[in-house]
Amino acid sequence: MNPADRWERRLYLTAHPVAYPLLRLAGRRPVVRVPGVGVVISDAALAREVLLDGDTFRKDGPGSPGELWTPILGPSVLLNMEGDAHRALRGRLAGLFTPAYTERLCARVLAEPLERLAERLDAGAEVDLVDTMRVMAGAVIGHVIGLETRDEDGYRHLFEQGERIVSMITLRTRRLTSSQVARARRVLDPLGDVAAEAYAAGDDGTVMGRMRGLGLSEGEARGAAGAFFLTGTETVATLVPRLIALLHDSGTLGRVAADPSLLDRAIDEAMRVGTPTPVMLRSVHAPATVGGVAIAPGDRVLIATHNCCRALGPFDLDRPHPPEVRRLWFGAGPHFCLGYPLAMAEIRAVARTLLAASPLVITRRRAARGVLLPTYRHLRVRRAAP
């Protein structure tokens, strides 16, 4: 096993020492029914078929994401909607995170943190990319919600608040307990109040103000802010350290630094290997057959996105992604991640700064425990000596 693969496996086993081996075991068959879990799909083509069939496989029934998120985010946040209501809200949000807008937003919000990062690397200082990304992710999501936080400790605190909520969920969690919902609400309600104030101000220069201009109600905008806060911060924050580690361990960091046109390919390949959304849930609403397995209404479907993506093999910068795998970790069809352009803009901005300081060496790293998304507890890098 090469170093890149060995470290990725360690991240998953440290985060999910019991669930991860079981998930990989289920991946030996394209579709398998696992007692207490549901029907597990580990084939990318079948997974994409399920994700595209929003009538049969839904996000708003028993065992679906709706059971997790509705109690803390409300009933209308895309994550727990289907049908006409989902299409209508999705349509109003379609113009929110355009690629051009997100590039400008990240360039503006991250200008100072990225300048400090570049200065530290240029000076030969050791930098913890995990902490760095907590600051970056906190800065961006704080701007999206409308917070006035402008210091690194504030950004870290904001990120940690979201991390505490997400860490309550495991790969087997079906629903949150009443005490977990209460804890989540204590974090989200004040953030929702801030988002509502930004919405009421109606400034087109803010994300919340743009939501008002796009025709969202205050409740819808508030729910969307909470959803972005919970689903967007950790995905980006955990990916960048893993991206740099994968490039470093595979010996391709210098190659991408020398050829910026390879960056998006490197990001996609790192996401395929790391799979920021390792599983996706759906509730079955009509009889169906997937991969020869009969599925009945009320069944729970667990799409093992990680198994689907890892079937292509270990990290390889030159590996083409077949259509059924392409960006599967962001979903497919009507539920393809709305924040995809924002996530990519943020990852690119930080990665470009790191690559500009190349060559980099990893000085220390450690896998994180007690997290939903496998990640490093710390990953420290510095510019290599000439």
What pLDDT, in 10s, does the model give residues 199-218? 898 888 788 888 898 888 88
For tokens 């259509």, the residue is 323
Q: What is the predicted pLDDT for the residue at 171? A: 65
Q: What mean pLDDT comes out for the span 214-228?
A: 85
Q: What is the pTM of this model?
A: 0.92
How many percent of the chain have pLDDT more than 70? 99
3-state secondary structure 70-125: HHHHCCCCCCCCCHHHHHHHHHHHCCCCCHHHHHHHHHHHCHHHHHHHHHHHHCCC
Q: What is the predicted pLDDT for the residue at 166? A: 81
Could you tell me which residues are beta bridge partners of residue 282? 301
Distances (CA, A) of 274 to 12, 20, 200, 266: 9, 13, 39, 12
Q: What is the predicted pLDDT for the residue at 192? A: 86
d(CA 220, CA 226): 10
- How many C-beta atoms surround the C-beta of residue 160 within 10 A? 12
Residue type, 176: L
What pLDDT, in 10s, does the model give residues 37-95? 899 999 999 999 999 998 899 888 777 777 778 888 777 777 777 778 888 888 888 88
Q: What is the predicted pLDDT for the residue at 62? A: 75
What pLDDT, in 10s, does the model give residues 156-183? 888 888 888 887 877 667 778 889 888 8
Q: What mean pLDDT comes out for the span 270-286?
A: 93
Quick one: CA torsion of 14, 241, 347, 327, rounded to 10 degrees? -40
C-beta of residue 74 within 8 angstroms of C-beta of residue 219: yes
| The domain over range 3-383 is classified in CATH as 1.10.10.10 | no
pLDDT of 4 over the 70 cut? yes
Q: What is the predicted pLDDT for the residue at 331? A: 92
What pLDDT, in 10s, does the model give residues 82-132? 778 888 888 888 888 899 999 999 999 999 999 999 999 999 999 999 999
What pLDDT, in 10s, does the model give residues 305-348? 999 999 999 999 999 999 999 999 999 988 898 889 999 999 99
Q: What is the predicted pLDDT for the residue at 206? A: 82
Burial class for 122, CB neighbours closer than 10 Å (0-12, 13-18, 19+)? exposed
d(CA 113, CA 115): 5
| Dihedral sign, Cα of residue 51, residue 52, residue 56, residue 62 | positive
Please provide the average confidence, as pLDDT, over all residues in the chain.
Answer: 90
Q: Can the peptide bond before residue 359 be classed as cis, meaning omega within 30 degrees of 0?
A: yes
